[in-house]
Structure 1
Amino acid sequence: MQANTYELKKILMPERRYVIPTFQRDYEWTEEGQWRLLFDDLTVVTERLSDAREQALAAGKPVAKADASVTPHFLGAVVCDQLPSAAGGLDVRAVIDGQQRLTTLQLLVRGVLDVLIELDSKRVHQVRNLIENPEWMIHEDHDRHKLWPRRKDRDVWPIAMADTAPTGGDHLYLKARRFFANSTRTLADDGGDTVNALVDALLDLFKLVVIDLEDNDDAQVIFEVLNGRQTPLTAADLVKNLLFLRGEFADEQELEKLYDLYWSQFDEDWWKQTVGVGHAARGRRDVLLSSWLTAVTGDEANVGHLYKEVRSYLDRTERSTTDVLRELHRYALAYRAITGHGDPVPPALARPYRRIDDLRIQTAVPVLLWLRTIPEAELPAPDHERAVLAMESWIFRRLVVGANTRGYAKFFVTVLRQGRSAHERGEPIAEAIIATLAAGSGQTAWPSDADIQTSFANNRYYGWFSQERLRFILGTIDDRLRQENPHAEPGDFDYQRLQIEHLLPQRWQDHWAVEAKGPAEIELAQQRRGAYVDRIGNLTLVTGSFNASLSNSSWETKRKAIADQSVLQLNRPISSIDGWTEAQIDSRASELAEIVCRVWPKTNETPTS
């Protein structure tokens, strides 16, 4: 990255063309918002320069030294990306950030030039060089302009910058030019050398920080730092500009049609909504882009450096904008499907999609999207379901035993690569994915039935797992029991709205005295019971109708209250148990573990949900 502060003449006088990417936002600066303030700043600098010169002349001192003493005015920063250009041709740069500022400066110069032409000033040629390239560098009409706006505004820009000033027009370009010309005329009425001082102030005392990106720079990070991470510009915005700018320079046709057909959907609010929490929170379209890039490259994409990585990928593959947009469209449809916001999918897939999305397992998304974009002739529906259900089993078996999620991103990239390799060889994709999941070990092991039984029998769940995840596990068990019981009352429960209840109360001492003799035995029995309180076999779900004051009551009283929760299949067996002891907790833990193993079987046969 090269970042330097330049006078305006050093930025605009070289033979160069600054290109605004086609689908950047509209030009939005206005008289009340920015134009008047900008010209006021120019007026102040002009007055400071005039005063310094007058004082120098009065004191018999060199004017040049006086000019150097005047404090310049800084206009902020623009970020530019070097674009390919023909040898001996114009230097071409894309304006990644700062299009409003740079466009307004061009219109300001045009307004000043109007007045200079009217006054037949000798400065006309010098100022014209700020907005037009020399004739010998012009090979096409647009080469004339130092700044070339986005495609939508390219018909009006030559009119706004021509010597023949339009007398009307509501476009902001035309209004800005008229405003700056009128403001310059008013200042010129002061007479003397005011106009010359204004031109000199504009050329030498208006300064910009220009950041020129190099091949290894990351525009996304630079932009965020410059804007204090408070700007709405996202990685998706930068990638959009990159894609369509590349399409323009490759002379691809009908880019506007491609935009409407494939990209305009990403301007909808749904795609801009944030998913994930904490440092992992990103807009949906950024998640889509990173998942797409991971899927097509087989390497983990970094959302925080997405622009740089997409640019590197496009440079390596030289894919057309049309091809990439069509592929992104397919991945967008797949993303909507797996998040439950697209076309209906078979129930066998809808359930695991919903579960994975509910728990925000973003690292699995690239594999799920890739699978959905494979034609059914190459991935039959039963094999597709087997692959997804195996992934669900791997994820949620690890969840219920409390396994660490660190390393998931890399592991799912490995799963993706193995699936891609099998696909390229014409081998069964589902078999490759299931085999890779089964081959995981240590931090990526696929827990066995025995692992789940052991965890449910011995581990603390309440206080160790989040309330959300406990409700998810218990709710999934109840949902499974409802599916297996043909007599279950129909209903669709929002398990996250239910309460977690300890069957053996957390304050059990009042009504649940241990049976032991002697102080030592009593203490051991109390310690043993205390260890059982937060195990999963002692936990259940209750609705809002459950009387919380009964939580610490005797088992007989509490059992009757829980019997009223019989609408939940999870509680039906409990209501018929005469006593609730550590043995009952162990037995129930084993039963719950068996149900979990049925929900998420570890098998090479087709799992059922």
Structure 2
Amino acid sequence: MKAETRELNQVLTTPTQYVIPTFQRDYEWTEQGQWALLFEDLVSAVDRLEDARAKAIAVNIPAAVLEKNVAPHFLGAVVCEQLPSSTGGVDKRTVIDGQQRLTTLMLVLRGVLDVLVERESELAGTIKRLLWNPAELKKEPHEIYKLWPRRKDRDIWKRIMDDETPPSGSHLYEQARRFFGEQTREVIVAEDGSDRSEAVVNALIGLFKLVVIDLEDNDDAQVIFEVLNGRQTPLSASDLVKNLLFLRGDFEDDSIVDTLYDQYWAEFDDEWWKVVVGRGHAARGRRDVLLSSWLTAVASHDVNVGHLYAEVRNYLAIGQRATADILAEIHSYAIAYATVYGRLSVDEPKLARSYKRIRELDVVTATPLLLWLRTVSSKELSTDEHILTVGAVESWLMRRALVNATTRGYGRTFVDVLRDAQKAAAEGLSIPTAVAAALNGFSKSLWWPSDDDILESFTTRRFYDGVLSRGRLRYLLAEVDRHLRSRNPKTEQGDFAYDDLQIEHIMPVNWEANWPVDAGDEAERLRAEQDRSQHIHRLGNLTLITGSFNGSQSDSAWDVKRPALSAQSKLQINAEVAKVDQWDEAAITARATNLAQAVGVIWPEAARFAV
């Protein structure tokens, strides 16, 4: 990476064309937002330059002596990447970051030029050399322009640059040229009537400075941008990848670019794809997550979304695949992603339920595998096999969550599973068997918990603010309730708004007043109280209640609270609780055992997935 601070004159004097990638965002700067402030900065620079020249005259020294000490105005950074250029022709660079400020500076120059031409100033030639390249160097007509905007803006840009009369339209380019021309007319003549043209031009091209960053072949633009932006907001790597793909230049006809964009990429402009998912340093837009999942799946290695741009660039360099084919493939993965994450419907209810449960666990490392499975043909993976495969992933994830197993290493784990699944598909073997075998073949830290492991966790671990977050705990109890209701033909059909339900301790946290322990001496009482405190937050003592539950009875004795829970019997998990005559530590353990049995059916052991 080469980073240099350059005057505007240095940036634009050489025969160079700065190309704005076709699918950069719209030009957005406005008079109220940036233009007025930018021109105020120019006027301040002109004043500083004139003050220095006046002082030089006053003390009878060359103006250049004091001009070199005039404070410049820094405009920020422009990040460029070299494009293939003809030998002896115009040098071309794509503007990866900074297109708003660079475009605006060109419009400032064009507005200033209008005024210089009106005044028949010789300085007009100086400005023209910064707007247009020498005609004898261009190989293509458009190479005459120092800045070449994205495709949709090129026609109006040519008019903005070439029309002698300032335009009257409402496009921001047109408004900007008029605005900067009008502002220049107001300042180019001093109060005493003297001409300030030279000071205006000198300040604009000599005191306005940019930090120009030229990327080299091994630079990661994504990391550089994050540093420039102070890492305050995660960079949309998808924008970089988009530019990388559409600037590859392997299209037979430029017109096909728009067609491919509309067909395969335009959907990513939708707000749903821009939503940030994940937490903390892992927070990224859905587009970035999709692209990292796609690349993980097709390259069969764990892709770091923080280096997505560099990873995609390396993949493209090695693979030598046609851009159109890659775009079509990404599009198919986008459909798969939208399906897995609930935006698109799933025809098979069992598959939809599995996706929803996996989403609840928020384990994005499984996403590449889930997306790849949706791209496999029905000849290689039938609907039943697909359901079985996703069910295995769901069971492995859920069971590990229920025993509080670590999620460390999940990225590499699911890449290994993906490789085994892809190998099975290539060899015509069973994909469900390959996935289940891979998940069940890891070391102890990544094991697939058994029914006994689940039972031990349910009967010994703290679940409330412990093994699971409250949101996941509510979801677990809701899934068990759905299961129990589906097994009981007498249960009223329908579904609860489980997200609106509250978690309730059956034996209350504040048990001392109404739930005395049965103990003899003081030592026995202390042991009993300690045992009770441990049981209070275990899964067997937790349930869900609706808004109709009388909260004032929450800490009441069992003979008072039991009827209140009985009134909640539409929830099947409460119907069984209300049948218990005495609610104590033994009852909590017994219910935990029943819940573990239900979980064993909802999320079966590994052996159930063998084909």
Fold conserved (TM > 0.5)?
yes
1:543 equivalent to 2:546? Answer yes
Q: 1:456 to 1:175 in 2, by over 3 A?
A: closer
Distance 1:143-1:577 versus aligned 2 partners, 3 A rule: same
Inter-partner Cα distance in structure 2 for 1:106 and 1:516: 87
Q: Give the match for residue 311 of structure 1.
A: 313
Other-structure match for 1:17: 17
Per the TM alignment, residue 506 of structure 1 is displaced from its structure 2 partner at its CA by: 2.6
Other-structure match for 1:387:
389
Partner residue in 2 for 1:244? 246
2:29 corresponds in structure 1 to 29
Change in CA separation of 1:278 and 1:55 when aligned onto 2, cut-off 3 Å: closer
Distance change in 2, residues 1:127/1:507 (3 Å): closer
Counterpart of 2:499 in 1: which secondary structure?
helix
Q: How many positions carry a matched residue from both structures?
A: 608
C-alpha contact (below 8 Å) 2:234/2:283 kept by paired residues: no
- Residue-by-residue CA offset, 1:560-597 (whole Å, 9 max, x unaligned): 22211111111222222222233322222222111111
Deviation at 1:247, TM superposition (A): 4.6
Amino acid of the structure 2 residue aligned with 1:291: S
Say if 1:387 and 1:434, in contact at 8 Å, map to a contact too: yes
Q: Counterpart of 1:567 in 2: which secondary structure?
A: coil
**Could you tell me how far 1:349 is from its partner in structure 2?**
0.3
**Matched ranges for 1:388-467 at <5 A:** 388-464=390-466, 465-467=468-470
CA distance in 1, matches of 2:533, 2:32: 70
1:113-152 alignment, distance < 5 Å:
113-152=113-152
Moved more, 117-126 or 254-263: 117-126
1:534 alignment counterpart: 537
Tell me whether 35-44 or 67-76 shows the greater mean CA deviation. Answer: 35-44
User: Aligned letter for 1:283?
Assistant: G
1:179 partner amino acid: F
Contact 1:247 1:255 in 2 (8 A): no
The offset of 1:286, in angstroms, is 2.0
Residue 346, structure 1, aligned to residue 351, structure 2: no
1:594 paired with 2:611, answer: no
The equivalent position to 2:366 in structure 1, one of 364, 367, 378, is: 364
- Given that 1:387 and 1:433 are in contact with CA atoms closer than 8 Å, whether structure 2 keeps it comes out as yes
What's the secondary structure of 2:543's corresponding residue? Answer: strand
Change in 2 beyond 3 A, CA 1:382/1:53: same
SS of equivalent residue, structure 2 residue 465: coil
Q: What's the offset of the Cα at 1:452?
A: 1.0
Instruction: Return the alpha-carbon distance in structure 2 between the equivalents of residues 183 and 582 of structure 1.
Output: 82
Q: Is 1:203 matched up with 2:184?
A: no
TM-score (norm. length: structure 1): 0.93
Cα distance per residue 1:519-570 (max 9 Å; x no partner): 3333333333333222222222222222233233332222222211111111
Contact 1:478–1:570 (8 Å) recurs in 2: yes
Measure the CA separation in 1 of the matches of 2:172 and 2:509: 69
Residue in 1 aligned with 2:488? Answer: 485
Equivalent residue letter for 1:269: E
The aligned runs of 1:27-176 (5 Å cut-off) are 27-162=27-162, 164-166=164-166, 168-176=168-176
Q: Is the 8 A contact 1:482 1:569 kept in 2?
A: yes
The TM-score normalised by the length of structure 2 is 0.93
Shift of the alpha carbon at 1:202?
2.1
Per the alignment, residue 327 of structure 2 pairs with 325
Distance in 2, Cα, partners of 1:48 & 1:511:
82
For 2:522 and 2:187, locate their aligned partners in 1 and report how far apart those are by CA, in whole Å: 99
Higher mean displacement: 314-323 or 359-368: 314-323
CA distance in structure 2 between the aligned counterparts of 1:593 and 1:424, rounded to whole angstroms: 38
Aligned to 1:376: 378
Per-residue CA shift, 1:136-192, capped at 9, x if unaligned? Answer: 321101111111001011112222112633554333323333333344344444465
Determine the C-alpha separation between the residues in 1 that align with 2:507 and 2:169. 79
Other structure's SS at 1:254 match: helix
Q: Which residues of structure 2 form unaligned runs of 5+?
A: none
Measure the CA separation in 1 of the matches of 2:54 and 2:508. 90
Q: Cα gap change, 1:166/1:112 in structure 2, threshold over 3 Å: closer, same or farther?
A: closer
CA drift at 1:356:
0.9
Q: Which moved more, 1:293-302 or 1:226-235?
A: 226-235
Note if 1:274 corresponds to 2:276.
Answer: yes
Q: Check whether the contact 2:336–2:375 (CA below 8 A) recurs between aligned residues.
A: yes
- The answer to whether the 8 A contact 1:389-1:607 is kept is no
Cα pair distance change 1:591/1:343, threshold 3 Å: closer
> Please, which moves more after superposition, 171-180 or 319-328?
171-180
2:559 is the alignment partner of 1:556: yes
The answer to which of 291-300 and 575-584 deviates more is 575-584
Residues 159 and 166 in structure 1, CA contact (< 8 A), matched pair in contact too: no
Change (3 A) 1:494 1:215: farther
Q: 1:300 is matched by which residue type in structure 2?
A: D
Cα distance change, pair 401–233 in 1 and its aligned pair in 2 (3 A): closer
Distance of 2:168 and 2:583 partners within structure 1: 87
What's the RMSD between the two structures over aligned residues? 2.4
1:93 deviates by 1.3
What is the one-letter code of the residue matched to 2:90? L
Describe the superposition over 1:173-228 as per-residue Cα deviations: whole angstroms up to 9, x where unpaired. 23333333344344444465622222222222111111222233332333344334
Say which SS state the counterpart of residue 96 (structure 2) adopts. Answer: strand
User: 1 CA distance for matches of 2:237 and 2:503?
Assistant: 41
| Larger mean Cα displacement after TM superposition, 22-31 or 189-198 | 189-198
Q: What is the alpha-carbon distance in structure 2 between the residues aligned to residue 189 and residue 522 of structure 1?
A: 96
Q: 1:517 & 1:37 partners in 2: Cα distance?
A: 82
Q: Percent sequence identity over matched residues? A: 54
Name the aligned partner's letter for residue 399 of structure 1.
A
The AA in structure 1 aligned to 2:242 is K
Q: 1:477 to 1:144 in 2, by over 3 A?
A: same
Distance 1:487 1:140, change over 3 A: same
The aligned counterpart of 1:497 is: 500
